[in-house]
Amino acid sequence: MSNIVYIATSIDGYIAGKGGDIKWLTEFPNPDGSDYGFNDFINDIDALIMGRNTFETVNGFETWMYPVPVFVISNTLTELTGKWASKAELIKGDLKDVLSQLNARGINNIYVDGGKTIQSFLSQDLIDQLIITTLPIVLGGGIPLFGDSQQLNFKHEATDIYTGGLVKNTYLRDRGI
């Protein structure tokens, strides 16, 4: 079982700008039409867990971009709403219990998305791999990738450099330190 973060950040560590703005993610030239490795990544994933705020953002997208089951984790929502509500399933509970339920359904490799959700997984040491693409922009504020957390050691596995100055780093959780 692996819980994997695949996300883009600004140089100063934000996953969304002030007010949740994500337009900056699409403003960089991409003359090659690269997906920055996303399709290769998603082909190895069984499902995605995202938080409520991320799902609300996804509801604003023109197309549904996830070829795997999507679970929205929220302990306050009673149902999903929005144009993509039928494409996702609401789940509730303690993260370890949720993961056990998903594992019992044969879901083992999980893409974890959304600032608060990622931070919650990190606070319980439930992230096995971080794949972080840094875009060459300083946002100066917004939604940070990392919040307060315990120290967690990761081992650098790979770096990919893309046109336009995007740099993707892959890290594996090092529990041996």
Residue type, 121: F
In CATH terms, the superfamily for domain 2-173 is Dihydrofolate Reductase, subunit A (3.40.430.10)
For residues 98 and 28, which has the higher predicted lDDT (pLDDT)?
98
- What global pTM score does this model have? 0.93
Specify the pLDDT at position 177. Answer: 63
Of 52, 10, 49, 14, residue with least CA distance to 28: 10
Q: Are 159 and 169 in contact (CB under 8 A)?
A: yes
**Residue 17 pLDDT > 80:** yes
Specify the pLDDT at position 126. Answer: 97
Specify the pLDDT at position 165. Answer: 87
**Residue 44 pLDDT > 80:** yes
Q: What is the DSSP string of 134-174?
A: EES---SSSEES--S-----EEEEEEEEETTTEEEEEEEE-
Ranges of each domain in the chain: 2-173
Residue type, 95: L
Q: Are 146 and 33 in contact (CB under 8 A)?
A: no
- How distant, in Å, are the alpha carbons of 11, 74, 159 from that of 1? 30, 22, 23
What is the average pLDDT across 72-100? 95
Residue where the block lists tokens 């879901």 = 107
Of 116, 133, 115, 103, residue with least CA distance to 35: 133
**Residue 152 pLDDT > 70:** yes
Specify the pLDDT at position 46. Answer: 97
